Amino acid sequence: MLNVHAFPEAFSPSECDAIIALAREGELKDAGLVKNRSDHNLRRADLGWLDERAGGDWIMERIMHLVAEANRAHFDFALTEFGESPQVARYGAERQGHFTWHSDIGEGALASRRKLTMVVQLSDPRAYRGGALELQPDANIRVSDRTKGSAVLFPSFVLHRVTPVHEGERYSLSTWVHGPAFR
């Protein structure tokens, strides 16, 4: 299926724990306050960027390998670089963490060149309620697998959201792949 590609086991559970621990070595920042935005209705989450932490090269190497294979087999997009840092997000029940329907292609030098988005589920599904990653590549909404270490890869223009977390906390890892305009 072209629109959404699933990896049942992109990372092992202990690798997921290591990614969360690495992100938590620094302070997570309120997503509603980065880039001078303060819209908590759009997204309520705390973010950490892995390129600001030392020792995370293996994470990017794994992602590059998975994306290269999946792009060859399923998308065949023209891709040039991973131009942004992998981003760890924490959605907590204490403020109904969520991210409303959006596409990842936005304004700006990098966001406008996003072609593929990869999201890895870092938390045990028993650690939270709500927090479903839903994608809408066509008329039907697809709910992503919640398995810890599983991932989805999809064209960055595809609409997606994270429903409010109302118990516990959910961590995810997002990465974007860039390239020339679609044509």
| Residues at the site binding ligand AKG, with contacts judged by CB under 6 A | 87, 89, 99, 104, 119, 133, 160, 162, 172, 174
For Fe ion, the closer of residues 46 and 104 by Cβ is 104
Least Å distance, CB 89 to ligand AKG, is 5
Least Å distance, CB 87 to ligand AKG, is 6
Q: What is the SS3 string spanning the chain?
A: CCCCEEECCCCCHHHHHHHHHHHCCCCCEEHHHHHHCCCCCCEECEEEEHHHCCCCHHHHHHHHHHHHHHHHHHHCCCCCECCCCCEEEEEEHHHCCEEEEECCCCCCCCHHHEEEEEEEECCCHHHEEECCEEEECCCCCEECCCCCCCEEEEECCCEEEECCEEEEEEEEEEEEEECCCCC
Least Å distance, CB 47 to ligand AKG, is 8
Stretch that binds Fe ion, among 65-73, 82-90, 103-111, 138-146 (CB under 5 A): 103-111
For ligand AKG, the closer of residues 96 and 174 by Cβ is 174
Considering the rule CB under 5 A, would residue 104 count as an interface residue with Fe ion?
Answer: yes
Stretch that binds Fe ion, among 11-19, 65-73, 101-109, 121-129 (CB under 5 A): 101-109
